Structures are given as structure tokens and as C-alpha cells.
Amino acid sequence: MATGTIHELQVAEEIVSVLPSGSYMRICSDEREIVRYAIRSNDLKLRTVVLRRESLRRLVDDPARAVKIEYLRRDLIRSSTRRGEFRYPRLSSIARVLPRRAAATARAMAALTAVASVL
């Protein structure tokens, strides 16, 4: 488990290292499933970088890892002067998955309720 965490952090560090030296710092978060960086620079609008650990884990073993990380680095640089927060994956990507999970949860709850009413 610790080795996986180290690899995730190395990928995260590789992505944010494109920012000016000394402008970013990894910060502790109550959310275990994300890696968060605080950005402090007068030249950048960006203040926070949020990376999901699950997505970073997928990047660790991805054959196209170098290309994807390069894309993320370019996207981060572009976003640093426009947005206050950078997220990977973007919330729009996550939002597409949530309705399916909510529907599956609703079906499971309905089945559970039906079983409970019989008992």
C-alpha cells in the first residue's frame, strides 16, 4: 500500500512540477482519496490543484503515461492564469459516472426494502 502511495505522489509531483519552483506545496487533506496542492504566486490565478488518487494510480501503469502527463502539464500551465482551481479528472468527468451509481444504489435499496418488508 505504501509503495502505491509513493508512486501516486511521484506522478502528482511530476504533474505540478511544471509550475514555478517554490510556488506549490502539498498540503494535508481530510479526504484520503485526493492529493491537494496549495499554490502561492502573485503571477498565477491558480490557488489549488486537486488530483484524485484513483486517477493517479491508473496513470502509474498506463502505457501512454508520458503522453498523458505531458498533456496534464500543458493543461495545468494554461489553466494557471485563468482558473483558481485545477482538478484531475475534471468534475464533468466524475459527474457522468455519478448518475449511474445513484441509479444502482436506488435499485439496491428498493430490493433491500422489498426483502425487509417480507421479513
Q: What is the mean pLDDT of residues 9-19?
A: 95
Report yes or no: 73 and 18 within 8 Å, Cβ to Cβ.
yes
Binned at pLDDT 50, 70 and 90, residue 87 comes out as: very high
Give me the pLDDT at residue 52, please.
94
Q: Which pTM does this prediction carry?
A: 0.73
pLDDT at 38 over 70: yes
Secondary structure, 3-state, 11-80: HHHHHHCCCCCCCEEEECCCCCCEEEEEECCCCCCCCEEEEEHHHHHHHHCCCCHHHHHHHHHHHHHHHH
Q: What is the mean pLDDT of residues 95-108?
A: 65
Domain ranges of the chain: 2-88
pLDDT at 108 over 90: no
